A and B are shown apart, each in its own frame.
Chain A
Amino acid sequence: MAYDYEKSIRPGKLPHIWCPGCGHGIVMKGLIRAMDACNLDRAKTSIVSGIGCASRLPGYMDACTLHTAHGRAAAFATGVKLANPEMTVIVCGGDGDGTAIGGNHFIHACRRNIDMTYVIMNNYIYGMTGGQFSPCTPTGHKASTTPYGNPDPIFDISKLAIGAGATFVARTTAFHATQIDKLIAEGIKHKGMAVIEVLDDCPTTYGRRNKFRSVVDMMKRLKDIAVPVQAAAKMTAEQLEGKVLTGVLYKEDKPEYCEMYQKVIERAQGAKS
């Protein structure tokens, strides 16, 4: 029997705004399966996003959803989680939203190791505003604001998250659809900051300018560059040239922020009496 996604989508909110061939819908389906796998009570689940094509995701989902300002999702989500640590908090959004304007909030949410799951859809571009380059647009590639090729070096989002202190970091691609839900579910179950980077595609504003003739070309590229971490361990540096590691890249048990704050409350209340 086909998977019933409809029960998780708000009635009357489809069709979505995403272009044909965009991977954001694949990620949304993965998120639905992950939430089902974790048996989440949707009235106690908050899905928070910033601004961008990817950030439109929460509006379609049946939960407590919060579509905020560009880049600020992690900071809003921090308020939600700290105000009520019983909430399951999921953040989602694009590479531009999360690592450019929202870069500061992103790294500090990682540093605090606050219990949320950040699904970041890296389509290498600013989709919503029409294809300007993002901190993840590969050097040399074309965007509407890099007509002669992008001079900027890129952020490796997963490495950034690990460096900043996130305690669960995983990566997959929109091609590897069945891995998306598994990794998000693992992230939700993980106590602490979980970052799941999904390499995604934007045929309309990125593919077109960078000679991917079809969505299939873009998907094929995602398939070709992905190397599971286990396989990568047996590969040489040469073989890994141009590849991207996928799977769980980092996992660590470390005190979670709300739990740490609970201890502050206990100390403060102990000191009072």
Chain B
Amino acid sequence: MAKKVALMQGNEACAHGAVYAGCNFFGGYPITPSTEVAEVLANELPKVGGKFIQMEDEIGAMAAVIGAALTGAKALTATSGPGVSLKQELIGYACIAETPCVIVNVMRGGPSTGMPTGPGQSDVMQARWGTHGDHAAIALVPASCQEIFSETVRAFNLAEKFRMPVQVLFDEIVGHMRERVEFPEPGELEVIDRAPVTVSPAEYKPYDASKGDVPPLAAFGSGYKFHVTGLNKAADGFPTTKAELVDAEERRQISKVMDRADEIEKNEEYQTQDAEVVIWAYGSTARSARYAVNELRKAGVKAGLFRPLTLWPFPEKRTAALAQQAKAIVVAEMNLGQMIYEVERVAKGACNVAGVFRVDGEPINPGQIMDKVKEVL
């Protein structure tokens, strides 16, 4: 049988990817340009026995998602910049309570209400630091409708595997762009479910580090009684202020991600092998950058593209290696300079780092990138 193929928006592909990953709970609050994710899931989830709820606001949506996830659901919320800002306290809650869930952020400009129907890449730092306290972050940045499908699946997998919130960020351009999307067959993409609990209810401790850096999570209602809190806590889930326990828990929750960053990292490189100038771009901006690379190559400039699909943890090793190899890295992003700070941090002055920025609601076009490349070489 031929594969199901459809012409659809990135937002729609995201919703279908979620269903493929086994998502069975959506809690959300409408905000442009993310609304189609909710609208498609309102249609699709009940067909597979899943639940869709439109909550009273983004905070409530995030709360419902965490409550559902702790009750065993694979849960998702979708929003845009202002909504993510509202969810921040509870994103931190999901971090400390180690609750697997996925937050989709279809990015627009900002700050505040910004340009609701304009594209932006304004939340990439919000995705890293947008809650209080120290914590690890995982954020994925797909650049096409097909990739939104598969990266949404990967986001659920990472959430379940690392037992934490995972963000999928794409800009309004790919969110609303229509492209051909091939639906993978069941089994074609890996789908990971959270690790089963193997101890008896009496022995179960939700944060027992002796069970590995990601201790298994039982579901409320499955026979296990346990306590979940946003306070610093000991292995049994109950609050503690004992310095050594608090410190060990905080560090475990960060190192479970940072020690295994290689498993999470995913990048695409195009013509970087001999590149003298590397364009560092993500999301729809990377599509312009790829075009720019082709044009530059035609003109005899050794240009290449580095495109992270995992923005957090930051792709340190490859970025550092490219900084060693190239004369310059040009970071292109739809903000006034956010990821460029990270590129500069790991480049450590090994090469020139320059930026192409835009916040006027227009996409970054190849010409702008080419101009910058010529300027830095």
Contact = CB atoms under 8 A, between A and B. Distances in A.
A174 interface: no
Given A43-B223, A79-B75, A87-B220, 19 more contacts: A10-B227, A43-B225, A46-B221, A58-B227, A59-B229, A59-B239, A62-B225, A65-B227, A72-B59, A75-B61, A78-B64, A79-B64, A79-B66, A79-B70, A84-B220, A105-B59, A105-B63, A264-B46, A269-B46
A159 B46 CA distance: 35
B47, B60, B230, B231: residue with the most chain A Cβ atoms closer than 10 Å: B60
Interface in A168-189: none
A48 interface: yes
A69 interface: yes
In the complex, the 9 A-B pairs of residues with the closest C-beta atoms, listed nearest first: A79-B67, A75-B63, A79-B64, A268-B46, A83-B68, A79-B68, A75-B60, A76-B67, A67-B229
Interface stretch (B48-56, B260-268, B335-343): B48-56
Interface string B80-114: 00000000011001000000000000000000000
Contact of B63 (A43, A79, A265): A79
Contacts of B220: 46, 64, 66, 80, 84, 87
A87 B71 contact: yes
Interface string B29-64: 000000000000001001101010101110111011
A225 B68 CA distance: 41
B238 interface: yes
Contacts of A83: 24-25, 51, 67-69, 71-73, 75
B224 A67 contact: no
Given A59-B229, A78-B53, A108-B55, A48 B90 contact: no
A69 B229 contact: no
B201 interface: yes
Contacts of B61: 75
Contact of A104 (B24, B56, B201, B226): B56
B27 interface: yes
Contacts of B68: 79-80, 82-83
A5 interface: no
A265 B51 CA distance: 8
Interface string A226-269: 00000000000000000000000000000000000100110111
A64 B221 contact: yes
B94 to A, nearest CB: 11
25 contacts: A42-B225, A43-B225, A59-B229, A62-B225, A66-B228, A69-B63, A69-B89, A69-B90, A72-B60, A75-B64, A75-B67, A76-B63, A76-B66, A78-B63, A79-B64, A80-B67, A80-B220, A82-B68, A83-B51, A83-B73, A87-B220, A87-B221, A105-B63, A267-B46, A271-B47
A62 to B, nearest CB: 6
A256 B18 CA distance: 28
Interface in A47-79: 48, 58-59, 62-69, 72, 75-79
Contact of A82 (B53, B66, B228, B238): B53
B24, B68, B90: residue with the most chain A Cβ atoms closer than 10 Å: B68
B65 interface: yes
Contacts of B228: 65-67
Nearest to A67: B229
Contacts of A82: 25, 51, 53, 64, 68
Interface string B299-343: 000000000000000000000000000000000000000000000
Interface of B: 24-25, 27, 43, 46-47, 49, 51, 53, 55-57, 59-61, 63-73, 75, 89-90, 93, 201, 219-231, 238-239
Contacts of B229: 59, 66-67
Contacts of B53: 78-79, 82, 261
Contacts of A272: 47
A79 B93 contact: no
A171 B372 CA distance: 69
A80 B71 CA distance: 6
A63 B225 CA distance: 5
Contacts of A48: 67
B25 A72 contact: no
A106 to B, nearest CB: 10
A69 B131 CA distance: 13
A80 B89 CA distance: 19
